[in-house]
């Protein structure tokens, strides 16, 4: 271990399963190898978009590694833990797409997991009219705060898609931080994350973070 303070590194994951062969799903043992390798050099914050129920299987191991965890929730689906039935995932197994319920999320929050908004319906924000954009950003925040009884100040843009109008709307809706995917640091409304997938062996993980 180094005595120097490790710089923060935010990772983006989706589903976690040893058996679901899907581009959005990482096997739990691979995910933990990725995080363990990176944690030697960075202070890792692991975020999980879409609140897939399967992601929770790795939370205890991540907590043991000292890695903070955050879930980004689409409120239209999480009401009853419905599968994330967005057009991009049509035809995929609904059981694998199951999302966390409000009770699940309250339980994770009570154990220290952070919770943020991933909008209401996982829309392509840059394509929405102003009123729809406001609805996706403000109503998801409001519902998360009402259900969880705590402020919701963070947002992750679906598909990592944002532009100047979307970033301004995120600020106007009251968020203090909004994550995209890869990109430069500096703007809290386009905070970068490194998205990792099943092709990322520990070596490829380093290359993805560094290049």
CA dihedral 86, 55, 140, 105 (to 10 degrees): 140
| DSSP label at residue 5 | P
Nearest to 170 by CA among 181, 158, 185: 158
- Between 132 and 161, how does the x/- string for binding to Zn ion read (CB under 5 A)? --------------------------x---
195 CB burial (10 A radius; 0-12, 13-18, 19+): middle
Nearest distance, CB of residue 33 and Zn ion, angstroms: 23
* Cα–Cα distance measured from residue 209 to residue 211, given in angstroms and rounded to the nearest whole number: 6
Helix (H) or strand (E) holding 8, with range, is strand 7-13
Closer Cβ to Zn ion, 20 or 39, answer by number: 20
Confirm or reject binding of residue 92 to Zn ion (CB under 5 A): no
Nearest distance, CB of residue 178 and Zn ion, angstroms: 13
Beta-bridge partner residues of 99: 52
* Cα–Cα distance measured from residue 65 to residue 60, given in angstroms and rounded to the nearest whole number: 9
* Cα–Cα distance measured from residue 127 to residue 115, given in angstroms and rounded to the nearest whole number: 25
Helix (H), strand (E) counts: the chain: 8, 9
Closer Cβ to Zn ion, 42 or 159, answer by number: 159
- Between 5 and 44, how does the x/- string for binding to Zn ion read (CB under 5 A)? ----------------------------------------
Q: Total residues at the site for Zn ion (CB under 5 A)?
A: 3
Closer Cβ to Zn ion, 9 or 71, answer by number: 71
Q: Measured at CB, which residue is nearest to Zn ion?
A: 49
Closer Cβ to Zn ion, 39 or 178, answer by number: 178
Closer Cβ to Zn ion, 49 or 92, answer by number: 49
Nearest to 64 by CA among 47, 44, 42, 48: 44
Nearest distance, CB of residue 5 and Zn ion, angstroms: 31
- Between 38 and 67, how does the x/- string for binding to Zn ion read (CB under 5 A)? -----------xx-----------------
Nearest distance, CB of residue 18 and Zn ion, angstroms: 21
Footprint of Zn ion on 156-195 (CB under 5 A):
158
Which residues of this protein are in contact with Zn ion, per CB under 5 A? Answer: 49-50, 158
């Amino acid at each position: 271990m180094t005595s120097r303070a490790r710089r923060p590194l935010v990772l983006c994951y989706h589903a976690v399963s040893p058996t679901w062969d899907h581009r959005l799903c990482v096997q739990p043992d691979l995910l933990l190898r990725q995080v363990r390798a990176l944690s030697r050099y960075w202070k890792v914050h692991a975020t999980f978009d879409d609140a897939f129920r399967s992601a929770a299987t790795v939370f205890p191991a991540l907590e043991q590694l000292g890695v903070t965890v955050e879930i980004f929730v689409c409120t239209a689906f999480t009401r009853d833990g419905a599968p994330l039935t967005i057009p991009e995932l049509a035809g995929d197994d609904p059981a694998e797409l199951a999302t966390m319920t409000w009770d699940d999320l309250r339980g994770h929050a009570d154990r220290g997991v952070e919770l943020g908004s991933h909008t209401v319906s996982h829309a392509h924000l840059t394509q929405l009219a102003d009123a729809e954009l406001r609805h996706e950003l403000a109503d998801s925040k409001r519902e998360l705060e009402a259900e969880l009884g705590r402020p919701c100040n963070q947002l992750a843009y679906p598909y990592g898609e944002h532009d100047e109008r979307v970033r301004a709307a995120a600020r106007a809706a009251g968020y203090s931080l909004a994550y995209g995917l890869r990109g430069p640091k500096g703007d809290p409304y386009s905070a970068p994350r490194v998205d990792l997938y099943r092709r990322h062996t520990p070596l490829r993980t380093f290359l993805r973070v560094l290049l």
